[in-house]
Amino acid sequence: MLTARKIEFLSIDGRTKTLQGALEKIERKQYRNPTDQLTDISGIRIVTFLESQVENVAKVIRELFEVDERNSLDRSKILGSDKIGYRSTHFVCSLSSDRARLPEYESLGNLKFEIQVRTVLQHGWAELAHDRSFKFGPGLPTHIQRKLNLYSGMLEVVDEGFDAIARDIDAYSASLSGKTLDQISNEEISRLTLEKYLISMTKKYKVAISDYDFTDEIFDELKAFGIRTSGDLEKITDDESVIAYKSRRESDTAMGFVRQIMMLKDIDRYFSGPFEWSGLDAVSYDRLLKKYDRKKLDRLLSIHGIEMLDEDYGDEFLESSFDDNTPF
């Protein structure tokens, strides 16, 4: 259901207590009516990336199951405004009446189970707090407890900060969606503006790009080439360069397209900056041959330690074996 609703999460796992584990908890908690009080014989833990995703997961849980509100809890609310520590949302659930009537669930209808929902930072804190080897439990000397509370508070601030940043990214992306390339020409080159630019280029020049993953290296290369804005990149993407770029390959990566455009504009300038690849395939080589003399090109590749990935290369398209350093 989370996948269907496009709610991102880090992990979902579950466990069922052993008989020994159940008896130990009953004794430790001194349950008088364990049938009702032991609600976590089966437990599911959902770890999300952001706090807002915890809220979205909670909505799905309430939609799918009957929630025992009396025994469920939100530890962030229990802690109050002046307390810091382990935070997590716990739901004690049972199957909904409609689902419990299904033959395959008939014997499970009255059983309760627990679902914990927490962010990855909350999860990390909980694992530390519950691991006896770290001795993060209660009863610490005041000066150590104060320091522990301080670091726990930092995690809470970071959790909220990541959530705020995610909202800022969504808002910025939405602001770009309705704009033309001319309208974003002065926008700083970023993953969001670069992707919008490339999508527009694929439509204009009928170039196929299948992979829009970017690394930090491509932005370093663009800055070294003098590309600061979307408009700067558009200026070096002329018809001649794109025509030279086209090949019979079905599609290329976004990073490969950008790198090839820079080299087709000024290969000496490109290689004077930083780059993190060391292999060139035959198709990319043939594209560069449409603008540069073979001797010049071979000399540059040799100087910079760029290896050809095909033994026999030329103007015909050849299947290439790619490795992690292949830029195109």
Mean pLDDT, 10 residues at a time, the chain of 328 residues: 94 94 92 87 94 92 90 61 61 88 83 92 81 65 83 86 92 86 87 86 75 86 92 80 60 82 90 87 84 90 84 40 39
Per-residue model confidence (pLDDT) at position 81 = 44
**Token pair of 117 as six digits:** 């929902």
Residue 152 CA to residue 253 CA, distance in Å, equals: 42
Q: Burial code of 39-67, b = ≥16 C-beta within 10 A, e = fewer?
A: bbbbbbbbbbbbbbbbebbbebbeeebeb
Per-residue model confidence (pLDDT) at position 117 = 94
User: Options 3.30.460, 1.10.3210, 3.30.70, 3.40.50; which CATH number does 11-161 get?
Assistant: 3.30.460
Q: Where are the domains of the chain?
A: 11-161, 182-308
Per-residue model confidence (pLDDT) at position 155 = 86
CB atoms within 10 A of CB 193: 21
User: What are residue 14's DSSP bridge partners?
Assistant: 44
Residues whose CB is less than 8 angstroms from the CB of residue 309 and which lie 6 or more positions away in sequence, other chains included: 279, 280, 281, 282, 320, 321, 322, 323, 326
Per-residue model confidence (pLDDT) at position 326 = 40
Specify the pTM: 0.68
Per-residue model confidence (pLDDT) at position 211 = 76
User: What are residue 13's DSSP bridge partners?
Assistant: 45
Per-residue model confidence (pLDDT) at position 134 = 60
Per-residue model confidence (pLDDT) at position 283 = 81
